[in-house]
């Protein structure tokens, strides 16, 4: 049944609030119906708003014998519509079919991320029927409200903090896109794998959803409304988790068990999931969360409990819960700084970012994308001729300010309740061969300052 929907108005109204100032607009362009319609709409939008930098990116997976022809078609089409074009070829390690879809999606995002620069908007072509499929797939997997939120119309792009994802056609049924493409005489590619019912999404698309729509014609719209309500509930859960994390978080990404036990089971699991999500880790099952509490948190006081799961190993140390992962040995790593002007240093092995600032005038917590992992540590500026280095293995003794006498660094780590597997991941600032501070922990005597150099770590 044909639709009477002004797709361009929907597209324009969706994009306009997100493009108030010049930026890069990138389209993930497969060449199929959905992304081809989006490309055509984007070319019309460009005529009205030429101040933006427009780009279509095609990812060649090499999974089909027609992949080369699709790439050529996409390049010709984008050029004809006046949109700059880029292509990326990726190689997938093909496993099961279920994992293939996830691997292909991850590879696409990583390939597209290479072309994002500065402030960007990444356009994806999903529509209302895709939303219905995604909701049903999540329902089949037993997902909670986060999974049932399905796809958001707008969201940050995880691989590029200055980029947002937009799905401007998400409220439109696929038939509206078909009608638009037919009226505009568009030619698009057909991926033969879309007819393979062994894929769960195709099974739903061809065998289940048509029956649902015949019985309940508006089901795609009502499911989209349910997804939006789930997204609201998830946002509320995240707000509560953020408040709980403020109370529960220990230095260097641990959780204080003494604070966790004050929470209800629902809230406790919520903050643990939120804590893991900030580390970009997969979510443990409810069964694993129950085992975590029983076998790690509630283990005997003199035990050294451990629970392995897909993203590491839950461990307890001196009243703090950690998720330990395999780390690179950093004892021989030395990072030399040529100057001590404000800067951001990328720390090795995904520790995070070490920030050096002259003051705290633009301080911490102002950027919601930054997870602050340590308190700011203030030290005096180096003297002329001092070399400044960052190291990760401390030897011997030092004298932290506010303490009587020197202590070994090992003893200090014990006093600060730093788990043994985290000790070689704490940045140590040296002036010459003298230890100045352990970032987030202590400052050595003789290097204190009221308004000097501030160091802190973010993820």
At residue 68 the predicted structure's pLDDT band, cuts being 50, 70 and 90, is: very high
pLDDT band for position 83 (50/70/90)?
very high
Who has greater pLDDT, 289 or 4?
289
CA distance 351 to 437: 17
pLDDT for 369 beyond 50: no
Give 336-359 pLDDT, tens digit per residue.
998 877 788 899 988 888 888 886
Dihedral sign computed on CA atoms, order 279, 310, 60, 194: negative
pLDDT band at 63 (very low <50, low <70, confident <90, very high): confident
Q: What is the pLDDT of the chain when averaged over all its residues?
A: 90
pLDDT in tens, 35-55: 999 999 999 999 999 999 999
pLDDT at 331 over 80: yes
Q: Tell me, what's the pLDDT at 368?
A: 42
| pLDDT greater than 90 at residue 455 | no
pTM over 0.85: no
pLDDT of residue 99: 64
- Reported confidence tier of residue 130, pLDDT bands at 50, 70, 90: very high
Map out the domains of the chain with their CATH numbers: 7-215 (3.40.50.620), 230-324 (1.20.59.20), 334-458 (no CATH)
pLDDT above 90 coverage of the chain, percent: 65
Q: Is the pLDDT of residue 366 over 80?
A: no
Q: What is the mean pLDDT of residues 162-176?
A: 95
**What average pLDDT does this structure show over 225-235?**
97
pLDDT surpassing 60 at residue 449: yes
pLDDT for res 373: 65
The whole-number average pLDDT for the span 65-79 is 94
Mean pLDDT in residue range 419-432: 91
Share of the chain above pLDDT 70, in %: 94
Per-residue model confidence (pLDDT) at position 363: 47
The pLDDT, as a whole number, for residue 315 is 94
């Amino acid at each position: 049944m044909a639709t009477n929907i002004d797709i361009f108005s929907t597209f324009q109204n969706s994009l306009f609030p997100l493009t108030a100032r010049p930026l890069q607009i990138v389209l993930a362009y497969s060449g199929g119906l959905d992304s081809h319609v989006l490309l055509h709409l984007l070319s019309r939008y460009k005529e009205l708003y030429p101040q933006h930098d427009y780009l279509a990116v095609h990812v060649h997976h090499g999974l089909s014998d027609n992949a080369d022809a699709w790439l050529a078609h996409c390049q010709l089409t984008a050029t004809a519509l006046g949109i700059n074009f880029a292509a990326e070829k990726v190689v997938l390690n093909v496993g099961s079919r279920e994992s293939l879809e996830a691997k292909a999606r991850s590879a696409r995002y990583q390939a597209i991320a290479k072309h994002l620069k500065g402030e960007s908007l990444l356009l994806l072509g999903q529509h209302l029927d895709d939303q219905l499929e995604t909701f049903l797939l999540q329902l089949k997997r037993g997902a909670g409200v986060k999974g049932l939120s399905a796809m958001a119309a707008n969201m940050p792009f995880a691989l590029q903090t200055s980029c947002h994802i937009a799905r401007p056609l998400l409220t439109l049924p696929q038939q509206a896109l078909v009608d638009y493409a037919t009226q505009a005489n568009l030619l698009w590619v057909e991926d033969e794998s879309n007819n393979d019912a062994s894929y769960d999404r195709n099974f739903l698309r061809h065998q289940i959803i048509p029956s649902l729509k015949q019985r309940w014609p508006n089901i795609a719209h009502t499911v989209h409304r349910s997804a939006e309500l789930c997204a609201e509930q998830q946002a509320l859960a995240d707000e509560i988790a953020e408040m709980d994390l403020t109370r529960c978080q220990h230095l260097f990404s641990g959780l204080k068990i003494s604070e966790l036990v004050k929470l209800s089971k629902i809230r406790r699991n919520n903050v643990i999931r939120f804590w893991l999500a900030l580390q970009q880790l997969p979510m443990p099952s409810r069964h694993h969360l129950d085992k975590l509490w029983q076998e790690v948190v509630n283990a005997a006081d003199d035990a050294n409990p451990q629970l392995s799961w897909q993203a590491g190993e839950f461990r307890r140390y001196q009243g703090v819960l950690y998720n330990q992962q395999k780390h690179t040995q950093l004892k021989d790593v030395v990072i030399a700084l040529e100057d001590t002007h404000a800067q951001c240093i990328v720390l090795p092995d995904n520790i995070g970012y070490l920030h050096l600032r002259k003051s705290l005038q633009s301080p911490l917590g102002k950027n919601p994308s930054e997870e602050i992992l340590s308190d700011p540590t203030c030290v005096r500026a180096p003297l002329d001729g001092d070399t400044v280095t960052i190291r990760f293995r401390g030897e011997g003794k030092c004298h932290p300010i506010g303490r009587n006498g020197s202590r070994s660094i090992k003893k200090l780590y014990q006093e600060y309740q730093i788990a043994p597997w985290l000790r070689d991941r704490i940045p140590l600032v040296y002036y010459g061969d003298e230890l100045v501070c352990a970032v987030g922990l202590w400052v050595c005597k003789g290097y204190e300052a009221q308004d000097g150099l501030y160091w802190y770590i973010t993820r």
